[in-house]
Chains A and B, each alone.
Chain A
Amino acid sequence: MFFYKVKELSNKILFQDISSLDIINSCIKRIKKIDSKLGAFLKLNEHKAIHDALNSNNRITNGKRLSILDGLPIAIKDNIMVKNESMTSASKYLKGYISPYDATVIKKLKKAGIILLGRTNMDEFAMGCSTETSAYQKTVNPWNIKYIPGGSSGGSAVSVSAGMVPFALGSDTGGSIRQPASFCGIVGYKPTYGLVSRYGICALASSFDQIGILAKTVEDTMLLINIIKGIDYKDPTTCDYKELNDNKHYNNKNLLKGLRIGIPKQLINYRIDNVILDSFNESIKKLELEGVKILEIDIPEYKYVPALYKVIMCAEVSANIATFDGMRYGYRAFESIDLNDEYSKTRAESLGYEVKKRILFGTYVLSKKHYNDIFLHAQKIRTLLIERLEKIYKKCDFIFSPATMQMPVKFGEHLTEDCDVFLIAANLAGLPGITIPYKFVKNLPLGVHFMGSRFSDKLLLEVANNFEKIIGFNINKFPNCT
């Protein structure tokens, strides 16, 4: 079952070659077989999913299919609200918390008949890049269980990569979808900030967070984004963006011809794994063969990206996480002498090290004494970066880079601060980005990253789709994780 692309599965359901129930059963079977080793899922909704699949079967036999994806299963990162279901954000604080409402994306998935099969593991409150900060379990890279899967959407990446579900939702604040997707050999897409509603995603850093997709192919990604995108009055930062809906079809064959793609000059400043750099240069040649014009672009602000991200993200974290105080829901310390003691005990006992570190740093940069020289300064450079990128997108259509500077590392080893710079730049500027698996080296995947201008999502996906076809990455290759 897991060799099929989403569109093929959808057609098979439509022509009743297989049923939604077959697919769900097959996924459940595979999850039960391999996930005890991989640790992708925090929770599996077996009974509910089977029930939903039966309903979907009925709709399809009665010709009342809700959408092209009706009856297909999806995995949901455990920081997205699904009514009457648990939502932990992989934190001890939210253990046992039941969501009282549906996130906007979840409402849209349900309306399209997509079946929510389970909840995937992640870094606590999405703070991390290896899924290791989860308060609950370890998730491993399906290509080699000694290696990290990446993060924070590690569980979602593994669930798709190992063929347990055809696609998954994740959230991307600083590469949290694209980096694990790249580490696990699948496609990871972060839409333009404002394309998908954030209503119902447990906030990490509000000005960066964006819900996105992890899938086997770009085409699968395109099918799903059309369902979850759109303006939402519950998220004032969403925009009314129509182009994704339009009927304008890009001429697929000639799309790459004449396309202007920029390569950041700053690449040479980073320590990049040789295999990654070699593969990247090779991929540039392939693009050139298709008639793509390669331009060298200069983004001096890239040097500040990790620092900017850390300052602004932590500042927003310190305020967003403040609501987890034990007063209304979530973990609460048993014995305390007064209000402050209760706050500090509750938070000390229920939040992890990484979370505390970020709260403290964020509190520091927002303090009266440091606001101007750290936080405000970072915001100013962020504006400069955005303006620089706007100028660059007048000269070129997309910015092309390796997805990460490093190959996945083993557990216990650390990624460098610069590893995700190209991905984080997209979050800082609110731009869409997509990572595509390029090849395997020593049975570990590596990927490349396309980043577009604001709301160029449709063209970005089309270009990525073309690129995927050129490189001929074998999507039917699955990790041997039994």
Chain B
Amino acid sequence: MNNYEASIGLEIHVQINTKSKLFCECPTSFGEIPNSNICVICTSQPGVLPILNKKAVEAVIKTGLALNARINKKCFFARKQYFYPDIPKNYQITQFEYPICQEGKLILITSNIQKVINITRIHLEEDAGKLIHEFGNKKLDYSLLDLNRAGIGLMEIVTEPEINSANEAATFLNQLKNIIEYLNTSECNMEEGNMRCDVNVSLRNIVDKKLGTKIEIKNMNSISGIKDAITYEINRQRYILESRRKIKQETRLWDSNRKVTRSMRDKENTLDYRYFIDPNLIPITITETLIKNLNSEIPELPILKKNRFYKEYLLNEYDINFLVSDKNIADYFEKTVFFSKNKKRATKIIANWIITDLMTKLNENKLSIKESPINCENMAKLIDLIINGDISNKIARMIFEDMYIKSSDPRNILREKKLLQISDKKCLTEICNKAIIKNSKAALEFKNGKQKAIYAIVGFVMKETKGCANPKLINSILLELLTK
């Protein structure tokens, strides 16, 4: 690999999460009965005309702004012509010469480098329907067509071939996904096909200035798949180059079962899409006011949020990455900190509770943090109880379980269950004395130097107090009594 460098460009199709399709009023909901989200427009009946969904245009502008792109004040839709049953008009309405956004960039951050990846363009287009060729495992001798997806708005984000490895490509996609999720312009769910990606890979000898022959890979539907496909393709191309043969320009398909790329069509068969400006749609004019308004709707983006979390909450990198990976988790965290009465001491504990306890529980129940039965205010109260020494971690976990089921205030649960921690020294000393008497064997062993023997006595105290005793206090009292 030393002599060669890979240049990778990505074309990412992201389904915009508008309620209705790009050019008609049909809903965009996923998983409906085939051909239920369709109308005369998206099935291309004679005489219909496209009606542009302005929300989709706004989503593209917003995404462009977040990626530091230039927004074109006037842009056009074009017809991209090719025959296939999944595009009912036999042309796709897309943008060609005049996309909404151009010249954007994303700063790639990996553990050891920061690197700018330039984004060539972001344009708006319509999605195609779905063709089904098999039923279960049985291959059909006909094809089924589902047009529910046909006409849903997509933004296509195209990068310059500036990515140099499979890992960088994966990082880029994860970061992009994160930004888009923050903007809420797409669900970015790869399993549901919200986000799809074509990859261009070329290899060149590092002494060469010109890029090598480019191979386009299609049909990947997961970031790990994209990583595998790029790795495979780099190895394949390097092998060809090392054996002094030439790479021919072509489009290849990723076979996720066999984990190889296969030739789909070569350059001679490149389709001539016969683009021209769609006369049915008037040019989109984008005003400064609209750009300003949309800009003001852009939330604090992940990179800035991370930096702020470092400074403001003094958390470690793992915690911050976890919290910032989802805007809603970050919001939940900040809101909980806000409600906490011991902000400085609480941040780390809150982060831990969210990352381990809450998220585990939510994941088990397949809920998002937005649907969490425990609200931020109650979460903050729970943490405050721990910090004040009112409850032990063990009790806190018990209360947490109850809070999760009942969505109630932790102090009410404490009261109901009479679980307030016993920190009264006199009272605890009595119980400890009793424990030593009942566990005299253990007490003797401890005195003889077996440190671990003390746990049996602590256990007895806990049992007696139904777990409400302040463990630190028990320890110090027992040590005092046993070493007298």
Contacts and interface: CB of A to CB of B under 8 A. Distances in A.
Interface of A: 79-81, 87, 89, 94, 97, 99-101, 103, 198-203, 205-207, 233-237, 315-316, 318-319, 322-323, 325, 327-329, 339-340, 343, 363, 366-368, 371, 375
Interface string B82-108: 010100111100000000000000000
Contacts of B276: 315, 319, 366, 371, 375
Contact of A339 (B51, B52, B85, B280): B85
Interface residues of B, number: 29
B270 to A, nearest CB: 9
A233 B51 contact: yes
Contact of B91 (A198, A202, A235, A322): A322
Interface of B: 40, 43-52, 79, 81, 83, 85, 88-91, 145, 272, 274-276, 278-282
Contacts of A237: 49, 279-280, 282
Contacts of B90: 322-323, 325
B151 to A, nearest CB: 13
A216 B114 CA distance: 76
Main SS of chain B's interface residues? loop
B279 A327 contact: no
A118 to B, nearest CB: 19
7 contacts: A81-B47, A87-B46, A99-B46, A315-B276, A319-B89, A368-B272, A371-B276
Q: Which of B45, B79, B275: most chain A Cβ within 10 A?
A: B45
A343 B50 CA distance: 24
A327 B145 contact: yes
A101 B279 contact: no
Contacts of A233: 51
B45 to A, nearest CB: 6
A236 B52 contact: yes
B44 A328 contact: yes
Nearest to A375: B276
A339 B145 CA distance: 14
Nearest to B82: A322
B474 to A, nearest CB: 75
Given A322-B91, A375-B276, A234 B49 contact: yes
Nearest to A200: B47
B88 A327 contact: yes
B81 A322 contact: yes
A401 to B, nearest CB: 26
A327 B280 contact: no
A318 B81 CA distance: 9
B279 A207 contact: yes
Contact of B43 (A79, A81, A328, A375): A328
A325 B40 CA distance: 16
B279 A100 contact: no
Given A233-B51, A236-B280, A319 B43 contact: no
B481 to A, nearest CB: 85
Given A237-B280, A367-B272, A375-B276, A199 B46 contact: no
Given A206-B280, A237-B280, A103 B272 contact: no
A328 B89 CA distance: 11
Contact of B279 (A200, A316, A343, A368): A316
Contacts of B47: 79-81, 87, 99, 103, 198-203
Nearest to B278: A206
Q: Please list the 4 inter-chain residue pairs (A to B) with the smallest Cβ-Cβ separation, ordered nearest first.
A: A322-B90, A207-B279, A366-B274, A206-B279
Nearest to A93: B46
Contact of A322 (B89, B145, B272): B89
A235 B81 contact: no
B79 A236 contact: no
Contact of A319 (B50, B91, B272): B91
Contacts of B48: 199-200
Nearest to B281: A236
Given A206-B279, A236-B282, A322-B89, A100 B83 contact: no
A368 B145 CA distance: 31
